Structures are given as C-alpha cells and as structure tokens.
Amino acid sequence: MTQLEAARQGIVTDLMRQAAAAEGIDAEILRARMAEGTAIICHNVKRKNGSPLAVGKGLRTKINANIGTSKDDTSIDKELEKARVAVRAGADAIMDLSTGGPVDEIRAAIIAETGVCIGSVPLYQAAVDKVLRQKKALVDMTVDDIFNGVIKHLDDGVDFITVHCGVTRAVVERMKNEGRLMDVVSRGGSFTVEWMAHNNAENPLYEYFDRLLEIVKPYDATLSLGDGFRPGCLADATDRAQIHELIVLGELTQRAQEAGVQVMIEGPGHVPLNQIEANITLQKRLCHGAPFYVLGPLVTDIAPGYDHITCAIGGTLAAAAGADFLCYVTPSEHLRLPTVEDVHEGVMACRIAAHAADIVKGVPGAIDKDIAMARCRKNLDWEGQFNLAIDPDKARRLRAESGVDEEHGACTMCGEFCAYQVMSDGSRRRKAAAG
C-alpha cells in the first residue's frame, strides 16, 4: 500500500507522523490533505537514510537545490561539497542533474551523503548511456532505454523523479503554430521533442503512462510532472504551448492519483510579475490543487550574475500565491556550472523568498522568528540577532568586519545616533529623573 492509498483509507502511517512532526502539525491534517491530493510525502521506500518530506497545502514552502556534473566538470568531490553546502544552508531537497562523468557513482554518493529528499531526471540517464557510453545519437534511445533509466534511479533510492510526460506531439504543434522566441529551453523537453521528431512517434512517457505508473508505484516515489514547455524568456510566458501542456499534466495527475501514485507539478520559468499569480491559479485549478514546484520564476531576462535575486523576487510572489516548492537559481544561471559559493547564495536567496511567502500564507510559526528578531534589535542584542538570522555566519562576519567590539551597542550605520540607543538612553534618563 502506498502512502496515498493509506491516506485515502484513513490510515495515518509512521511516515505521515514523522513528516507532520517536522511541520508542527497534526498527522491527521497531513493525511487528509494527502488523501485529497493537495499534499504529498516524498520518500522512496528504498531510501535508508532519508527523512520523509511533506510538500503541499498549508505546509512550509520547501526549497530545492540543483547540483550535478556536466562533461566540462565531472568531479564527484565538488558535487558532494555542493550537496553539503546546500544542506547546511537549509535546502530541503537536492536534485542531481549530472550528465558528465560517472553519473551512477555521483548519484549514489549524493544519496549516501545526505538525508534530505533527493530528486533526479531519469531521461538524462538514458541520454548519457546512449551518447557517451554507446557513442550513438540521443534520438537512438529506445522506449526500453527510457524506462530502464527510470528503474535505475528508483532502484538507487531517488525520492522524486522529473518526467516530461506532457511533452506531446500535439503540444509541439501548438508551439509551432503560435511561434515562440526561444522554443524549448527545458533540457529534458528538448530531448523528448527531438526524439519524437526523429522517430515520428509519440512521447513514450505519455503514450505508456500506465507503464510508468506500474514502475513507480512499488517504490512509492513521487512523480514530478515536468514542464517541458516552460517559458525560457518573458516573451514566451503563459502562451498556448505552456498552458496546453499544463492541461495534459492535469489529466495525468488524476490518472496517477487514481493509481495510488503521488504527484506534484513543475512550473515556469521566466514570467513577468503581473502573470505569476495567474500561473499559480491556473495550475491549482487545472491540476486539482496538486502541489506546485516552480523554477524561480525569473521576473526579468537581463540579470545574468544576479538571477538568484530575480528568482527570489518571482519565488516570493509565486509562493505567496500558493506555490509549494521553490527550485533555487544561483548567480551562475545562464552562465556556467555553479560553484560551491553560488550554491550557498542560491539557497539563501530562495529561503528568504520562501519565508517571506510563508508569512503571507499564514504558515504556523512563520512570523515568530521575525517577532523575536525585532525584540533583539530593540534591545541591541547582537548574539540573539545572529542566532535568529537566516545566515548567522554572514551576519557575524559583517559586524566583525565593521571593527566594533561587542561592548559597543550600536552598529556603524548610525553609531551614537542609533535610534534604539537614543530611545534607550532617553528612557533611562526619564526613569532616573522620576526616581
């Protein structure tokens, strides 16, 4: 019995209790939301070192960090360090997107290294095996190659897999008829589009969706239905191809849930601020409230080197409107493979967005730290401020670099004219005069 099947039968499982405890909510609340498909627990039954991660309605907004090699950088040690840094910075999940070097060993090492939720894109496995190992063309992948990649990742213990099931021939035709500035920017989406064109065939992950469900169900892993037609620039946002694919994903969501398989939906992409809320509303309506996992969204196309900021802006609005899971973007987006430092910056920016949105959504306890921080600032309690900070190490470092000692109450922004200091000194004088 899968977690979804148990939830629909009114059974609260041990995993539900663990995940609910981490959220600070009653396990029955989580069970009920899972039963209606608005919340999920990401946890592959093969994982021995992983904790269940709850994602969805009324829960804390989660953060994912993408890592992984390319043919230009195949270091396992470097990717493991990125995984460690992402977890220390507060990422709830890590996606291994490796396409270069010993990808099987890299994935196994990342899974063994951390107890956080792990995601992947199995289609990359099939592509790497075909191109790099068999020295054939990507479009020569067979249907069995594609499904064997899924099995391999699930056997390794991956908790959720991105599968581009909504990339169909009909959606491709719709994209061509409307015209797009950047066509397909999803790597998995582009693989699928080219495979369909070369083989004059439908997407196997769509055509044989029931086979996919039969494979996934015994592992009780989560299907993350990928957005192969996500907009790669503002000009392509919310077009017919994107929405057609979303309609397909809504239909597949129902089929998966009926089969007892948990689902979340992936979303855009590059989206102007004034379209973000509409995108969230459409997804929630078309996919019956299934958890929504968004990449960004990025609210401008002209900030290379600062895309962690454009991501945080869009992610805040998306999560406040109902997105449940944010995929970080690093300063290196569109430029290079991220460094360890980029990973840290990306997670921190995304955590700020998630927390700001959780305050808006009224997630229990979300605003408590902000209130505590305000008290510490009023009292010039620097140690308290550091402990409450989203990045304590950076906060400590910046204050130390200013040259003030701990006996000095104010910071160098205002010095003796610090508003808190002025008010505090005035209060003491008034009390002394009254005494």
351 is annotated as contributing to ligand binding: no
270 is annotated as contributing to ligand binding: yes
CA 127 to chain centre: 23
Q: What is the spatial distance between Cα 362 and Cα 58, in angstroms, rounded to a whole number? A: 8
- Scored b (16 or more CB within 10 A) or e, 368-396 reads eeeeebeebeeebbbeebbebeebeeebb
157 is annotated as contributing to ligand binding: no
- Residues with Cβ within 8 Å of residue 241, at least 6 apart in sequence: 171, 172, 174, 175, 178, 180, 229
33 is annotated as contributing to ligand binding: no
124 is annotated as contributing to ligand binding: yes
**Cα separations in angstroms, 355 against 14, 251, 337, 350:** 27, 31, 27, 9
Q: What is the spatial distance between Cα 33 and Cα 4, in angstroms, rounded to a whole number? A: 10
174 is annotated as contributing to ligand binding: no
334 is annotated as contributing to ligand binding: yes
66 is annotated as contributing to ligand binding: yes
95 is annotated as contributing to ligand binding: yes
164 is annotated as contributing to ligand binding: yes
228 is annotated as contributing to ligand binding: yes
Which has the closest alpha carbon to 16: 49, 43, 48? 43
293 is annotated as contributing to ligand binding: yes
227 is annotated as contributing to ligand binding: yes
Known binding positions for Zn(2+): 270, 334
Known binding positions: 66, 95, 124, 164, 186-188, 227-230, 266, 270, 293, 334, 411, 414, 418
Known binding positions for substrate: 66, 95, 124, 164, 186-188, 227-230, 266, 293
Known binding positions for [4Fe-4S] cluster: 411, 414, 418
